Structure 1
Amino acid sequence: MRIKNRDLILEFLGKCYENESRGATTSDISKTLQMQRTNVSKLLNELCAEGLVEKDSTNYPVIYRRTKMGKSREAQIFETLIGYDGSLKRAVHLAKSAVLYPKKSLNMLLLAKHGTGKDLFIRKIFEFAVASDVCAEDAPFVKMNCLYYKDNAEEMNAKFNEGLIASENGFFFIDNCHFLDAESKTHLSTILDNSYVKNPDIDHAPIIVCSMPPMMSSDAFFDNITSKISIIISLPELNERGLYERFKFIEKFFCNEAHESGCQIKVNSEVLIALLLYPCDNIKQLFHDIRQACASAYSRELEVEKEAINVLIVDFSHNVRSGLLNYKNKRMDVDNIIREESDYVFNSDKLSILDIRPKENESIYDWINAKKLELHKRGFSSSEINTIVNVGIETEFNKYRKNLFNNTINKEQLSQLVDSKIIELVDDLLAKASSLLNRYYAASIHYGLCLHIQALVGKRVATHPIKIEKMMEFIEHNKEEYSLAMSLCDRITAAYDIELPIDEIVIIAMFLCTHNVGDDQSRHPSLLVAMHGVGVAKALAETVKILNDMTIYSYDLSLNKKPLDAYEDIKQTVLNIPHENGILIVYDMGSLKDIFNMVAIETGIRIKLIELPVTLMLMDFCRKLMLSENVNDAYDVLVNRFKSLDASAEYETMKKSKVIVSFCMTGEGGAVQIKRYIEQQFKLEGIEIIPVQLAEQSLFLQELNTISKEKEILCIVGTFNPNVYGIPFIPIEDIFNSDNHDLSQLLYQDNLNKQDFLSNSETIFEHLAKELKNIDALEAKDKLIQFIFDVEKDMGIMVEMNEKIGLLVHLACTLDRLKAGNITPNNLNKEEVIRKNMYLYRIIVKHMIELEKAFSVNVSDDEICNIIYILKKSHS
């Protein structure tokens, strides 16, 4: 949350006031806060008009001072509380409202468990009351903890009356009020009901704040007291406050310990991760666990002269250390807060972060060995070490893979280090991966894979087992990459007579997951789908995840469950979702909207809502159909009612336009010059030339992938070969030395192949015209050829001539058979084939729609699987 400039000025002048400074000039504030002098002057005049700042014109230049601290309703008393604008936002708002209520402040009931910070929160309410002139500066603050007197009713009653008298015109904090004796409860009830005290020694009743734990809400006394108190404030438990706020508590407690010990305190990232994730009941327990560990570290290093005390993971209890086991499930949220490979140094007033640079040229195995040794020295058990290493291996591998972008070598150098057979195997693997996965690979991935496999074949590395759970998780989310890696390992086994374990197959598959390169655990808002019914939202979320690769969360609200009864479930669902960057919620009906708005207010989480009223629409459809006897009448009414539903819209196949990409290392200007030269010297009708800057290999690849989503990249033209698999490269020298005919031959090579195919198809359809009985072969020819060209283009590969001819004949016969009313035989492996080839399946279905319309047939998934077999044979 960004702090306003006026608040920064107030804070600065407040510090001058606390330090008994003479004040500050406009120039002082402008230089210190790095603001424009005119803006500072304007804001100072506004603050003076509001009475927050006073101006001393007897001096030159003019001196500005903060008015007596705490005399403004905007005094930022609560901002010292962790979570004041987050999980405590609602509580702070209610507290301010109660204190500032006209004529007389309202009494309050605080629902909070032990250790949630209720004492500090009540103190801040009192300070705010003083700062707002509701209470005098010398107003009394009296606390009575009823727990101490629960076994002595007489003493309880006496302390209660003493507290009432002592807190006159001030604050009376009655902690654990549910333990009050019957007489005191009756007295308290009368005071709250009538706003006066039956005591001749008291003229003005205090502001009363009662507190009790939330679980007492079923108690009869709770019902009685809430009927008399308007302001009920709830304080969240530690596990409801989010990881960022928990980290701020950790930071505060370590800084306190640094102040108490007079020494810096240094911890590593593992310690902070454990403290963030271990099961901790409340803030007070977190404080005691940190203090105990600091005391242990202090006694260990007492006799060693050091600038900082090193607090290690072994200084904490097993309960705290168990937090590391939860890192796997919370890694994205934790990585937003804790910086890897860093030491955290706490002083009495600040936190410093020191980067620990990794060794250059360190392999994934070097990292595993070093990590295990480091954790062993810190006192971790073998099982804990294996868990931590397995959780971090994928993150570390992504770093290793990214480093390859900056450490590429050429193929000539590579051939001196790697067996030519390995280079050939990796070439084949990446060519297949580019086609099947529809993504381009940097040459550095090729080099890295070659070097990695050479090390395996040469037996220069020892394989480290990866936990079976970790492997299964990776395979589940990266099935296609794993399948490709497995085929490569089979070929390595055949060529070199070595058996590679499943761990190695997983590591090789990681090389192919380039969709994660440059995406540092993407810091995106979360998406939640909430629907009425059983399994509706879950099914939607799972379906979209298959097609989109983004984690989508879901909540299904049973129709038998009242919305208010589901409130706690929904709130917990929201809290369990990564929410540091907010949550977008898609819901179906209005009752959910009200609940999510309430959750947003209570938790302080940023929530945006979009209504997708599919349930209401279907209900409306049902009502209309039940009142209609003709589907056409119902259809017309419903389409007019829901204008956004274009039910009769024709399907249009989006054809990709062709482009050439020009690039230059010196910047986009050089690429533009190449573009202009080609446009001036060559006739390239219908082809766009896009200039791209190659400043960094990973960014260049991302740009190519972005372009390829909407356009077909014919080739890349530039000053050197960027080694992008699947796209031809033309050196700029060839452009300058070529005539129009030579360049056209290179760019239109696919057109030459098309001409051959068209020529062969003429002969085939002359024969089919005599054989096909139910469709016109000559009429079908152009549509079937266009279908094959469109599928080939979307696949991004050239289908072999034999397979193309075979597919043409198969499609013609299939349409003829379907037109006659025959059905396609069941494919027993249909579901598995579609699941393994989802990308290709979607391409075929998209273009098959045109054929189905043209010939008025319905092509089943069984038949589409047959087409998949033919196309897969072409590039297997």
Structure 2
Amino acid sequence: MRIVSRNLPSYIQDGLYKEKEHRSIWNKLIGEEIDFFKFSSKSTESFSFDNNDAGIYSFIKNKLENLKSQGISNIDIEEILEKDIANYYTISSNAITNEINRKNLYNIMDDNILDCFDLIINYINKQLNHTLNSNIYTAFALHINTLIRRINNDKPIVNPNLSKIKKLYKKEFQIALGIREILENTLNISVPLEECGYLALFLVPEMKFSDSIDDMVKIIVIAHGESTASSMKDVVSKLLGEDCIIAIDAPIEISAAEILNKLRDIIKNTKSNGGYLLLVDMGSFTTFAEIIEDEFNIPAKVVPLVSTLHVLEAARKALMKSSLNSIYKDVLMVNSYINVGKNNKPPEKKKTLILSACLTGKGGSIAIKNFLKDTFTIDENIFEIMVIDCLDKNNFINNINNLYEKYNILFIVTPFSLDINMNIPHFTMYEVLNLSTKAKIQELLDVETTLANMPEVLKENITAIPSNNLYEKIMNFIASVEKSLNIFISHKKKVELILHLAFAINRLITNEDMVEYSNKTSIKKSYNKLYSTVKSSLIPIETYFSIKLTDDEICYIMDFIIN
């Protein structure tokens, strides 16, 4: 099968050309003949669901906690972990040399990172007196690549069992400390000590097992087009040197019902208690996971708008036998890795405007500005009183519209009544000067001041997340809901919603119990559009913090908006 650009949807083409590593993959594979692959897999082992970091990070944490809770001795723990770690990285063997692996890795890793990885491999070979096998080599390289991305994007790295890993694998941990030094000196980054525990696990003596790969989560790619899904599958299979993806191509003339039946047949022939991750492009395919869960009583999740990079991450984690939930969260994180750059500057914080208007912009509006400053407590770090003219009503309205697009406008004071189709409080000069609106204006100022100080409030009360990032993500969520539904959420209600959602996110990250919503079915049915909007608008938050907000929590958020 020949892969050409017209076989791929436009969003995949854009993604392939957006970043350097994507262009490398694209340029390398254009016009190349791809072999035909057969798929066959079975599974009996079930996977647990958790909210911890995916892959190796959650594997060791969960395993050690489980063994400790059973009262198993440290010696037995060491034997069990050695076996499980080897099994964790054991992939059906292929005769792939490290030279070929390195050539493939060049397509997905920056030159400086790959050069640093070469230094690390040379160091490991000298310390261990043997070379890493092909599969561990690839997995280790991708882990290093992900580690550097996490550090550059200020993602936390937590290892609550560091002391146990140091005790169980003393030699490997000492080598990991050397790897840490190479990373820091070569790439000018700071690697947390906790990460050394995870690096050490890649160096544990390899053990051979005859375990099949049938226990891993099944990755199924479904995309519109004659060969779109197959193309992504073939690229990833070639990069990883493994055949672990099921592709379902969906030509435009074939109905969604027929594609669903194909999926049903695949599920019947590849039963997996570990579950299924559906990577789809768009449309009704996004509903297939729920259907599969209901019909087959097995866990399934779906990720829409997928690219080759999403498929690569899913396949890599599936080969490591990560749980469905872990793979799902890591695939969602691909978007944040693409969009967040090292040198991105934080957006400039803009003040909230109070508009004071008069016919010339030089008379009564200035008097009102001074009156407001003398009468009310106005924090100049938060608010700016701007004087404008309103001699020409059309120009005046256009001016307000332009400011409304760029700034948050708290209220407007004019010499006359104003009829504008915007959710901006308005007062006449007379109402302001006779103080009949004093209480209302003071409330607006107080609520806006509270809103502006929310990052500090969150910083004092939310410990698991950087407060500025949390505040920004929640405000973006609120703006998305307002825009999608063409509604305005009052600043007072925003304060309540920010606090509620911040604590909900914090509870998920710290694995605390969530509160059940008693009337969930009814509110979802009555406000179906609102439910869909809130759920989709929460995806950036879920992606950034690697969490999944429950339907109960979505219903609580809906309550804030409805009321």
Q: TM-score, normalised by structure 1?
A: 0.20
Higher RCO by CA contacts (8 Å cutoff, separation 6 or greater): 2
Larger radius of gyration: 1
